[in-house]
Each structure stands twice: as structure tokens, then as C-alpha cells.
Amino acid sequence: MNLKEQIEEYLQKNKFEIVSRTCDLVKIPSINTQDDSGKPYGSECARALDFCDRLCKQKGLVTKNYDYRCLEVMCGDHQSGKRLVIATHADVVPTEDDNLYAPFAGEVYGDYIIGRGVVDDKGPLIASLYALAFFREYHIPLKNDIRLVFGSNEECGMDDLAYYLEKAGQPDWGLSVDDDFPTVNGEKGLVHFSICAPKADCIEQIKSYGSKQRLVHDYCESVISGEKTIIGKTEKIPNPILHLFTREERLLKNEQDEKHIRELLADPEGFCIGINHSDEMSGKTSVKVFSAETKGGNLILSFDIRTPVTLNTDEVVKKLMDYGTKTGMQVTVEKVSKGYYKGPDDKMVSMLTELYNNEFRTNEKPYVMGACTYARLFENGCGFGGGNPHEVKPFPKGHGAAHGADEAHNISVLLDAVKMLILGIQAIDNQWSEQ
């Protein structure tokens, strides 16, 4: 049998097991927490890594636990040549109240596995595990050092992979399997900042809440002049915090503060800060307010900035500080994460893209996205799968997608990811061996 025939045989033979093990992993509610377990990201994240460890060993793969931050997986005890790291994660974002299915049941309904984290990133994790196990089962030697890394803090800062890279060093190339095929060749930069200003006397309380990993909180609760109002996200109100500022009452004590804040909220591209920028590869700067709260006598608004790949995040931070000085408001930069960009002609990016297009007879292009994955932590790397870029899921609006209610992974798409990861590993190994 040739390689593709072996892959088809492998998928047919292991289809039930791949689906079952994905369901088993989804059943673990691996939300990052601080508990008394002594584990860095809580007992459930540790349990998810332990599950992966046992499964890998059953498949004859060699593992190393990096202090319950990451689990490293190898095809054998001794590896040589260049090093490829394929990174996925077992942690998930918190659940919402609007699920139609039990979020951690991990069950199959029709053609879909449904449960929190099955798209992001437990399905791709299992796909990468079975892809590496394929080479051992069919006794196909890998000439280079191919490793998987399963993290458990991707959704809350990526300290896990940073820890691994500090200990193990940067690979020659890294792949993040955490989005759609074919290849993600760039990610926008990210800056989070907050503005603190004295609130108006009429405000008793303002609080927004919802998933911390969402760009905008789901609800905003306010008590203004004794009137309690809860505003939720809808099609007509996509940002409940913005809606708060449609009220006629002044929300800030100082008239100039109020003016500056309203200008900022009405400026989704950052013109008033001086960070408006766009490029052909990744589009425009975006500025979104995502949370609000009253603390003491102040109103605190938190903002998310996504920067085009040609805009340096250090320059954004400088502009924010200048904006605080100019307006007299307290501006605090809370998080900075530099993006990355590999040109579509990059040798590895173009090879993986062509590999996908040849397999599925498509003409997809590499793309840049605003979301953050492990790929940005690699000195050299990109995103590679594992979803179908054109999949339309048969679920109500707001259901079925990553970070949303009723995450759902199509079983055929999951098996395609296993196939593409096998082909990708083989292609990279061959390319490096020929150099």
C-alpha cells in the first residue's frame, strides 16, 4: 500500500476510537481555575493532561510532563535532525447558560461531536495524537524530531507553552492546530488597556459580565439614579457596554472625560489615539470596549486592540500613554502580545498550503486572523488546521462555533484533520531530510 492507502485504512480502522476518545476528553471540564490541587491551572486541566498521557502511552508514544503545564509527546526515545513542534491545548473557556446540549456530556448527535472545547481545541488535539500514532503503527520511520505539545493554559495567557519553550528551546518550526485549514500565516497584535475616570454621582453601580475570553462581555448591569437595568447582547445590541453610553445621563463626573470617552467609543479604528492603520495582509486596527465596572468612585472601561501585522505593538503602547497624558485620564496597559506574519511565499507556508489544496482540489490561500493561538510564540511557525474553512453547521445562530454555545465538530472534518496532519508531518520530514 502507498501512504494514502495506509491513511485511509488507518482512518477506517480507528474512526470509532478517534471519536470516542474525543468525546472522553470533552467530558473533562478543563476550565482554568485556582484550586487546592497544587496544579498550576487546577485539577481538571491536570486531569485532561493525565488522560492524554495515558492515551499516548497506549499508542506506544513517549511522553514528558512539564510540571502539569504541558505534555510533550514523541514517536520514540531518541530523536535527531530538525525539530517540529505541533501545539494544541486541552483547556477550554467557561460555559454559557444558553447551551441546548449539556456542555460536558461529550456525545455524538448525527454527524457531530458536541461539547465545550471540541472545536477549540480538543478535537484537533486528538487528531494530532492519532496522526503521530499513525507513523508508529505503520512502522514508518521519521528522520527528524517530531513532537506534539498539549498545553492547558492557552485560553488564559499561554504561560504553558512559554514555560515549555523556555525549558525545551525553540523548535525549527512550530505548528498551531487551532483554526481552519489551509494555513494561518499571521496573527494580529493584541493590546489590552483600561481607562479609569471618576464616575458621575447618579451612578451607583455598573458591571459587565460574561465569558472572559469573549471580545465583548455578554451583559451589562447598571444602577443609575436608582434604576436597575440589565442589557444583554442581541443582534440589535451587539455591545451592551456601548449601549450604556446612549443614555442621556452623564456617566462621568468630568465633562471633558465624558467627551473623550464618547469619542473613543465611537472610534473603532483608533483615530483619536493615533493608531489607525491598515495593511493589505491583515486589514485595519480594531478597538473594542469589552468590559465595564465601577470601583470606588471610578468607572473603569477595558478595551481590546487588534493591530495589523505591520503596526508595532510597542508603538501602540506609546500612543496610549500619550493619549492618557493628552486627555488627563488614567490609562493602564494590561496586556501586550505581538502578532506574527509569514509571507504567503514562505517555503513552509506555501508547501503546507499546496499540500491541502492538492488533497482537496481547492485553491485556498494562507490567511491572517485576529485571534491568538500558540503560533505567535514560535520564532518560526504558522497555523495549520484543523477545521474546514467552508463548513456551514446546521445549528441555530450563535451555536456550534468555538467559544460559543454547543461547540460542535463534524466527524468527517475531524478525520480529515488526522489525514492532513499525517500528510503534513510526512511532507515536512521529507523536506528537511532532503536539505
Sign of CA dihedral 16, 1, 429, 380: negative
CATH no. for residue 19? 3.40.630.10
In this structure, are 46 and 153 located in the same domain? yes
Q: Do 388 and 416 share a domain, yes or no? A: yes
Is residue 435 scored above 90 in pLDDT? no
Task: Quick: pLDDT tens for 329-349.
Answer: 999 999 999 999 999 999 999
For residues 64 and 171, membership in a common domain is answered with: yes
Q: Please check whether residue 286 is in contact with residue 306, taking contact to mean a CB–CB distance below 8 angstroms.
A: yes
The bridge status of strand 83-89 relative to strand 145-151 is parallel
The SS3 call for residue 363 is coil
Are the C-beta atoms of residues 385 and 119 closer than 8 Å to each other?
no
Long-range pairs for 291-296: beta carbons < 8 A, 24 or more residues apart: 291/208, 291/217, 291/241, 292/206, 292/207, 292/208, 292/217, 292/220, 292/241, 292/244, 293/206, 293/207, 293/208, 294/199, 294/203, 294/204, 294/205, 294/206, 294/207, 295/196
Rounded percentage of the chain residues whose pLDDT exceeds 90: 89
Range of the domain at 286: 189-337
79-98 pLDDT, tens per residue? 678 999 999 999 999 987 77
Same domain, 327 and 348: no
Q: Which amino acid is at 389?
A: P
Q: In what order do the strands lie in the sheet with 112-114?
A: 107-109, 112-114, 408-410
Q: Mark which of 267, 302, 337 sits at the end of a domain.
A: 337
Q: Give residue-wise pLDDT tens across range 277-309.
A: 999 999 999 999 999 999 999 999 999 999 999
One domain, residues 182 and 193: no
Assign 404 a pLDDT band (cuts: 50, 70, 90).
confident
Of 337, 357, 372, the position where a domain reaches its end is 337
**What residue spans of 27-102 are helical by DSSP H?**
43-58
- CB count, 10 Å around CB of 357? 15
136-185 pLDDT per residue, tens: 999 999 999 999 999 999 999 999 999 999 999 999 999 999 999 999 99
Compute the distance between CA of residue 222 and CA of residue 107 in angstroms, rounded to an integer: 39
Residue with cell 504553558: 160
What mean pLDDT do residues 59-65 have? 97
Average pLDDT over residues 375-400: 94
Query: Where does residue 274 fall: left (phi above 0), alpha (psi -120 to 50 degrees), or beta otherwise?
Result: left
Which of 337, 352, 382 represents a domain boundary (last residue)? 337
183 and 198 share a domain?
Answer: no
| Domains contained in the chain, number | 2
Which residues are bridge partners to 186 per DSSP? 341, 368
For residue 248, is pLDDT > 80? no
234 and 150 part of one domain: no
Same domain, 284 and 138: no
Residues 222 and 256 in one domain: yes
For residues 74-85, b (16+ Cβ closer than 10 Å) or e, as one string? bbeeebeebbbb
Please report which residue ranges of 59-122 form alpha helices under DSSP H: none
Q: Are residues 314 and 372 in the same domain?
A: no
Cis preceding-peptide flag for 29 (omega within 30 of 0): no
H helices, E strands: number in the chain = 9, 23
The CATH number of the domain holding residue 253 is: 3.30.70.360
Sequence letter at residue 193: F
**355 and 272 share a domain?**
no
Q: Are residues 244 and 376 in the same domain?
A: no
Alpha-carbon distance of 64 to 70, in angstroms, equals 8
Q: What CA–CA distance (Å, rounded) separates 364 from 182?
A: 7
Within 8 A by CB and 6+ apart from 198, the residues are 252, 253, 254, 257, 297, 298, 299
pLDDT at position 214 is: 62
pLDDT tens digits, residue range 186-201?
999 999 999 999 999 9
Residues 6+ apart with CB under 8 A from 119: 387, 401, 402, 407, 408, 409
